[in-house]
Amino acid sequence: MTLSLVLAAEEHAPQALALPIWAFPTIAALFFAVGAIIVFTYRDVANRHSHKHAAGAAHEDHDAHGGHGH
């Protein structure tokens, strides 16, 4: 049975692709480039908001209030 399926598969002509062969890696490269741009836009976000964290840390000084060790 398997041999007959292999022989039957060899008789069919290969189907044409939906896009030219160069389009697939181009789409993948564009996908990763857009992802890299999105990731790059979030670069250094923590440092841009560090003044807010420093102001909040000054108000929440647990050592001065006798914190419980967390």
- pTM, full prediction: 0.49
- Segments forming the whole domain that contains residue 42: 20-61
**Sequence-distant (≥ 6) Cβ neighbours of residue 47 within 8 angstroms:** none
Asked whether residue 44 is assigned to any structural domain, the reply reads yes
- Give CA separation, 13 vs 3, 16, 36, in Å: 18, 9, 40
Mean pLDDT confidence for 16-21: 92
Number of domains in the chain: 1
Q: Which pLDDT score is estimated for 58? A: 63
Decide which of 4 and 10 is more confident.
4
Confidence of residue 30 (pLDDT cuts 50, 70, 90): very high
Asked whether residue 56 is assigned to any structural domain, the reply reads yes
Asked whether residue 53 is assigned to any structural domain, the reply reads yes
Asked whether residue 3 is assigned to any structural domain, the reply reads no
Asked whether residue 26 is assigned to any structural domain, the reply reads yes
Asked whether residue 70 is assigned to any structural domain, the reply reads no
Asked whether residue 67 is assigned to any structural domain, the reply reads no
**Cα-Cα-Cα-Cα dihedral sign, residues 35, 36, 37, 38:** positive
Asked whether residue 66 is assigned to any structural domain, the reply reads no
